[in-house]
Amino acid sequence: MTLHVPSQLFRDDRIDAACELIQAALRDRQRELTGVRPPASERQQTYSDWLEHLAGLRGGSLYYPYLGTGVGKGSLVELADGSVKYDMITGIGVHVFGHGHPELVCELVRAAVSGGVMQGNLQQNLDTLRLCEQLVALARESGAAVEHCFLSTSGATANENALKMLFQARFPANRLLAFSNGFAGRTLALGQVTDRPANREGLPTTLAVDYLPFFDRHEPDQSTRQCLASLHTLRDRYPRQHAGLMVELIQGEGGYYTAPRDFFVALFEEARRHDIPIFIDEIQSFGRTTRMFAFQHLMLDSYVDIVSIGKMSQVCATLFSERMKPRPGLISQTFTGATSAIHAALFVLDQFQQRGLLGPTGRIAEIHQRFERHFKRIERDLPGTIAGPWGVGGMLAMTVFDGSAERTRDFLAELFARGVIAFPAGRQPTRVRMLPPLLVIQDQEIDAVCEIMEAVLRSLA
Ligand SMILES: Cc1ncc(COP(=O)(O)O)c(C=O)c1O
């Protein structure tokens, strides 16, 4: 049953008036943010002390010396050392609306007055219903047989919930198929799925995972054959023991590697033949391709049994088909999402509908192409310094210099110092990745970011 919960659940002119005042105060403060700004020298010592203090409290230093003031304007973010930078990683894809979005601020005000800081299984408001309804409708848009939606506060929890559903549905199967170079999250179970020894160092083995080799664009046919051959071998070695096949259609932490539709179809058909359900992890790819889901972008709708989303959705979710439905008792949470995060999620979905971001000629495609044109130009002007971009749509990656971890780290540190925040992904080569704020980034900001990148490449070449 589709309910169509009304979009405006809380309306009062006084709240609208308060929002206008808050927006005016925000705009005044944002007027100070006109572009990249270096740190204020008089704040350096205090800022270093704060960073050191935080590192001590959290038991390890931060990747970047990043402590925000909470103020920003679109792609620009202000740090507590007084600097202003272009945020091209947005908390790894979270702040798709950039910083200080005036309309979002009003949504958060509405969330504040709507009661209940957190929502959960004994405390959900109508906005939870509205969000679940919208997510299921989006997932089903071109035919996926997804009927249910369970919200959660992190990508890892959404994935854990998915794994529990798979194992319960396929009991007594107790193994999982996953991909080399994949990332799934950092819980005890997901640490086994993530293909990085450092992420599970010292941890007990909680899950038996069998890895399939991913697609290699240099050897398309051979790598597809190899993947299928591995699947056959594993199926023969462990008959009926695989509860599911977990896959990122665009490997995120692994370095933005993807594969053509044919690769996935060949694999998924084979999995289907052996009644192995398919679980697609879209924590990073949700809302970054030409469609809301990468499985829609690749036209793989008919294969989806479970899909998880996170990051730019603000609230994470596990969406699943009827046959994956858990029995009572398997899944429950005190917190499924903060009320403000649920309002922000609805805001993001609404903006995607309104702004023409999706589609082969949508804004996301334009953003990708503009970055691509700059990268190609820099590659021509400064041969050997940059290659790429790879990835899809709003997931952009490139390699700088020899792609070594050290040189990439030096590049990123210098880029940060000059006012652009990006992040590494993958190993051998290590890539530089960007998840720009797709709802707000302007063409001239893309140009400014690429100009800074070029200057850094020149200085380090
Ligand atoms: C593909 C994928 N799955 C799962 C996760 C884990 O999400 P979270 O960090 O919100 O727990 C991530 C996070 O980077 C991810 O990229």
d(Cα 320, Cα 150) in Å, to the nearest integer?
8
Gap from CA of 308 to ligand 1 centroid (Å): 10
Mean pLDDT computed over every residue of the chain: 96
Angle of CA points 280, 265, 233, to nearest 5°: 85
Q: Which residue do the tokens 């179809």 mark?
A: 265
Pairing relationship of beta strands 431-434 and 423-425 according to DSSP bridges? antiparallel
Distances (CA, A) of 299 to 134, 250, 296: 20, 14, 5
The pLDDT of residue 333 = 95
Gap from CA of 119 to ligand 1 centroid (Å): 21
421 strand-pairing partners: 87
Q: What is the mean pLDDT of residues 303-324?
A: 98
Confidence of residue 114 (pLDDT cuts 50, 70, 90): confident
The pLDDT of residue 94 = 98
Confidence of residue 11 (pLDDT cuts 50, 70, 90): confident
| Ligand 1 proximity of 93 Cβ (cutoff 6 Å) | no
| Ligand 1 proximity of 282 Cβ (cutoff 6 Å) | no
Gap from CA of 11 to ligand 1 centroid (Å): 35
Pairing relationship of beta strands 84-87 and 420-421 according to DSSP bridges? parallel
Q: What residue's CA is closest to ligand 1, atom 16?
A: 284
Q: What is the mean pLDDT of residues 418-431?
A: 97
| Ligand 1 proximity of 283 Cβ (cutoff 6 Å) | yes
Strands (E), 36-186: 68-73, 76-79, 84-87, 118-119, 148-152, 175-179
Non-local CB neighbours of 239 within 8 Å, separated by 6+ positions: none
* CA nearest neighbour of 185 among 92, 275, 86: 92
Ligand 1 atom nearest to CA at 248: 1
Gap from CA of 154 to ligand 1 centroid (Å): 8
Q: What percent of the chain has pLDDT over 90?
A: 96
Q: Given a cut of 70, is residue 17 above it in pLDDT?
A: yes
Distances (CA, A) of 353 to 35, 330, 336: 29, 34, 24
d(Cα 433, Cα 423) in Å, to the nearest integer?
5
The sign of the torsion formed by the CA atoms of 299, 301, 303, 308 equals positive
Residue to mutate, 183, 193, 316, ligand 1, most ligand atoms under 8 Å from C-beta: 183
Are 316 and 135 spatial neighbours (Cβ–Cβ below 8 Å)? no
Gap from CA of 316 to ligand 1 centroid (Å): 10
29-46: per-residue pLDDT in tens? 999 999 999 999 999 999
186-205: per-residue pLDDT in tens? 999 999 999 999 999 999 99
251 strand-pairing partners: 257
Q: What percent of the chain has pLDDT over 70?
A: 98
Amino acid symbol at 212: L
78-90: per-residue pLDDT in tens? 999 999 999 999 9
| Ligand 1 proximity of 183 Cβ (cutoff 6 Å) | yes
Ligand 1 atom nearest to CA at 157: 11
Gap from CA of 184 to ligand 1 centroid (Å): 6
Residues in the chain: 461
Distances (CA, A) of 22 to 97, 115, 340, 342, 394: 18, 20, 16, 21, 31
| Alpha helices per DSSP H over 238-325 | 261-273, 294-297
Confidence of residue 115 (pLDDT cuts 50, 70, 90): confident
DSSP three-state, residue 433: strand
The pLDDT of residue 10 = 65
Q: How many CB atoms lie within 10 A of CB 83?
A: 20
Gap from CA of 310 to ligand 1 centroid (Å): 7
Q: What is the mean pLDDT of residues 202-216?
A: 97
Which tokens in the block code for residue 354?
A: 């309104």
Q: Which helix (H) or strand (E) holds 209?
A: strand 208-212
Q: What residue's CA is closest to ligand 1, atom 7?
A: 155
Gap from CA of 312 to ligand 1 centroid (Å): 11
The pLDDT of residue 116 = 83
Amino acid symbol at 222: Q
Domains detected in the chain: 32-93+360-460 (3.90.1150.10), 118-355 (3.40.640.10)
| Alpha helices per DSSP H over 102-181 | 102-113, 126-140, 155-169
Amino acid symbol at 428: Q
| Ligand 1 proximity of 310 Cβ (cutoff 6 Å) | yes
Q: Which helix (H) or strand (E) holds 208?
A: strand 208-212
Q: Given a cut of 70, is residue 5 above it in pLDDT?
A: no
| Ligand 1 proximity of 199 Cβ (cutoff 6 Å) | no
The pLDDT of residue 4 = 55
Q: Which helix (H) or strand (E) holds 399?
A: strand 396-400
| Alpha helices per DSSP H over 195-316 | 220-237, 261-273, 294-297
d(Cα 198, Cα 114) in Å, to the nearest integer?
43
223-269: per-residue pLDDT in tens? 999 999 999 999 999 999 999 999 999 999 999 999 999 999 999 99
Ligand 1 atom nearest to CA at 251: 1
Gap from CA of 157 to ligand 1 centroid (Å): 9
Ligand 1 atom nearest to CA at 190: 4
| Ligand 1 proximity of 81 Cβ (cutoff 6 Å) | no
The pLDDT of residue 9 = 56
| Ligand 1 proximity of 182 Cβ (cutoff 6 Å) | no
The pLDDT of residue 199 = 93
d(Cα 76, Cα 86) in Å, to the nearest integer?
5
The pLDDT of residue 354 = 93
Half-sphere exposure of 176 (CA within 13 A, CB side): 29
| Ligand 1 proximity of 184 Cβ (cutoff 6 Å) | yes
Residue to mutate, 195, 247, 284, 308, ligand 1, most ligand atoms under 8 Å from C-beta: 284
Q: Which helix (H) or strand (E) holds 205?
A: none
395-411: per-residue pLDDT in tens? 999 999 999 999 999 99
DSSP three-state, residue 95: coil
d(Cα 47, Cα 39) in Å, to the nearest integer?
10
**Rg of the chain over all Cα atoms, to the nearest angstrom:** 22
In eight-state DSSP terms, residue 37 is: B
| Ligand 1 proximity of 155 Cβ (cutoff 6 Å) | yes
Q: Given a cut of 90, is residue 1 above it in pLDDT?
A: no
DSSP string, 300-354: -GGG-SEEEE-GGGSSEEEEE-GGGPPPTTS---S-SEEHHHHHHHHHHHHHHHH
Q: What is the mean pLDDT of residues 329-351?
A: 97
Residue 207 has φ and ψ, to the nearest 5°, of -150, 140
Ligand 1 atom nearest to CA at 93: 14
128-141: per-residue pLDDT in tens? 999 999 999 999 99
Which tokens in the block code for residue 216?
A: 């290699």
Q: Which residue do the tokens 């008089």 mark?
A: 42
Are 293 and 138 spatial neighbours (Cβ–Cβ below 8 Å)? yes
Burial of residue 452 (CB within 10 Å: 0-12, 13-18, 19+) is middle
Q: How many CB atoms lie within 10 A of CB 197?
A: 7
Q: Given a cut of 90, is residue 327 above it in pLDDT?
A: yes
Gap from CA of 446 to ligand 1 centroid (Å): 26
